[in-house]
Amino acid sequence: MTDSSRPAYSLAWRIAVAAVLLRLAYTALVQAYTLMTPLPYGDQIRASYMQPPVLAPLLATLVSTLLVVGLTAWCATRQWLARHDAATVNQPGRMLATFLALQALYTLCLSSGVGIAQNVLMIGTLKGGSWLEEAFGLGIVGRSIAINLMIRAVTIVLEVVGIWVALRIAAWTAGPASPGADMTLTRRHVAWICGLTVLIWQTSVSIMLGGFLQMQTLEAGWAEYALGYWVLPIVLLALVVIVCLKVLPRPFERPGIGLAVALGSLAFWFAQVLGLGLGFVVLKSMTWDQLAWAAQSPAAAALVLLAYGALLSLGCLVAARMLHRNQGESAR
């Protein structure tokens, strides 16, 4: 790394880390207020926070949100610096302070709006049904999962847009400095962005489906929750990064943040769609005795995880070929 490129990395990382710490502090304050406020059944609520069915999804949600915030802030900063052919800004402190103030205000508004919208939608959906029931025949559990998935997807989009706009406004308080920095993304950058995108999707989807799975496995303890919500996503992150480094073409002619995010999203949803299809076929071919054995067998669970990892790897390969088919030699 050259001397001229160090300020660029420093500014992007400073803004990303500051954004993550601000969001972490906001979440901690909200949770502390919730636990300390006198409420009916407050003791039971506080005790439930130490149980795996509540704590594991809560931490997974927090990690997913922090990943979105940090990755967006880092990418937005690098993109702005690259557009202005600069390594840093002449007043980084002012830019950082303005960005954090705008992010704090936007986070407060977004959290309040999402909470109100979720409450209204869930009450209306569970009480009177909805088009989800009419069109797809979803029951209460299915409608709840569908509504939460839609709200989560919209929240991620609004989170990204808000941070991007806040950074652009904050950039008005400072000017580019140290021209000539090389801000081009490398294969390693693209692989990590792709892996983090998959991790964001994985944690978000697992949170929504976890509530339904918990009802099927009420005996699950800390080990099961830790494996499902924490260990598995980290293993998948490492797997996706390694696979992307192998399959991305050399030389990498068109690196870009949007392309890296698209690569991770395509890989993840390719694995989900193909996995659901294959799973449906396998389940239809099994007898009740085989299903009962598979539900209780650690070997069957390990086989499913290995198959899912293989599908994600295949998704990375397919996505890389789709996005880079015009770059000469195909990704291997």
> Does 261 have pLDDT greater than 60?
yes
Question: Shortest CA distance to 1 belongs to which of 79, 87, 73?
Answer: 87
**Predicted TM-score (pTM) of this structure:** 0.84
pLDDT on residue 8: 47
Q: In DSSP terms, which residues pair with 88 in a beta bridge?
A: 177
Give the dihedral sign, CA 171/176/178/183: positive
Query: In Å, what is the CA distance from 253 to each residue of 9, 184, 209, 250?
Result: 21, 10, 38, 8
| In a shared domain, residues 20 and 161 | yes
| In a shared domain, residues 93 and 197 | no
Q: What percent of the chain has pLDDT over 70?
A: 78
pLDDT in tens, 289-312: 776 776 677 777 778 788 888 999
Burial class (CB in 10 A: 0-12, 13-18, 19+), 179: exposed
Lookup result for tokens 């490492």: 238
| In a shared domain, residues 138 and 79 | yes
pLDDT band at 6 (very low <50, low <70, confident <90, very high): very low
pLDDT on residue 100: 96
Structure tokens at 256: 């870009």
Burial class (CB in 10 A: 0-12, 13-18, 19+), 57: buried
| In a shared domain, residues 174 and 190 | no
Lookup result for tokens 């392309």: 259
pLDDT band at 287 (very low <50, low <70, confident <90, very high): confident
> Does 288 have pLDDT greater than 80?
no
- φ, ψ for residue 318, nearest 5 deg: -65, -45
| In a shared domain, residues 302 and 195 | yes
pLDDT in tens, 128-161: 655 555 555 556 666 677 777 788 888 999 999 9
**Across 92-106, average pLDDT:** 94
Single out the residue in 125, 144, 179 at which a domain terminates: 179
Residue 244: domain span:
184-331
Per the structure, the count of domains in the chain is 2
Contact status, residue 66 vs residue 24, Cβ threshold 8 Å: yes
Single out the residue in 152, 179, 206 at which a domain terminates: 179
pLDDT band at 218 (very low <50, low <70, confident <90, very high): low
pLDDT in tens, 25-73: 999 998 888 778 776 766 777 777 777 777 877 888 889 899 999 999 9
Q: Is residue 188 part of a domain?
A: yes
> Does 103 have pLDDT greater than 90?
yes
pLDDT in tens, 189-204: 889 999 999 999 888 8
Single out the residue in 124, 149, 179 at which a domain terminates: 179
